[in-house]
Structures are given as C-alpha cells and as structure tokens.
Amino acid sequence: MPPETRSLTLYAEIPRSSIALYRFLLEGYDNLAVMSVVDRFRAVIRLRCATHAEKTLREFLAAQGARILNLPCTTR
C-alpha cells in the first residue's frame, strides 16, 4: 500500500476526566490518530487520521462512549 498523502479530521466530545486515557489508548492502538484538545473545558478533541483508518477510529470512539460532533470533517 502506498503511503497516505491525505488525512481526515474528526471532532469528538469525551469525558473531561478521560482526556489522558484517550491519548494513551490512541497511541497504543498503533497510533490510530493524532489527538489535540480543542476545548479543555468541554473536552472537545480533534483527531487526525489516515483516510483508510476512519472506520476503525469511528468504531473506537463509539466503543469508548465519545460523542462525534457534527462539525465539518475535513481532509487535507
């Protein structure tokens, strides 16, 4: 498979007390996504992943109880 040249961005709201746990799990899940905290008070995170990993990332978020926000999902 050739290297990815595009990435996908998703936003999700998670329990505030779980921010560090999500980062740890995402890194442990073979670096599924790169996570940034957008709003530390609402615990909104931005996740960037390879386009082929979108389904796995969405399944991971659903299994963890995260709420995917309906902000525009972008690819770069």
CA 7-28-66 angle, 5° bins: 65
Architecture per CATH, domain 7-69, reads as 2-Layer Sandwich (3.30)
pLDDT at 73: 57
76: confidence class by pLDDT, cuts 50, 70, 90: low
Beta bridge partners of 45: 12, 37
pLDDT at 1 over 90: no
By C-alpha distance, which of 41, 42, 10 is closest to 26? 10
pLDDT at 25 over 90: yes
Give the domain ranges of the chain.
7-69
pLDDT, tens digit, for every residue of 33-58? 999 999 999 999 999 999 999 999 99
User: pLDDT over 90 for what percent of the chain?
Assistant: 75
Number of Cβ within 10 Å of residue 44's Cβ equals 17
Report CA Rg, the chain.
Answer: 12
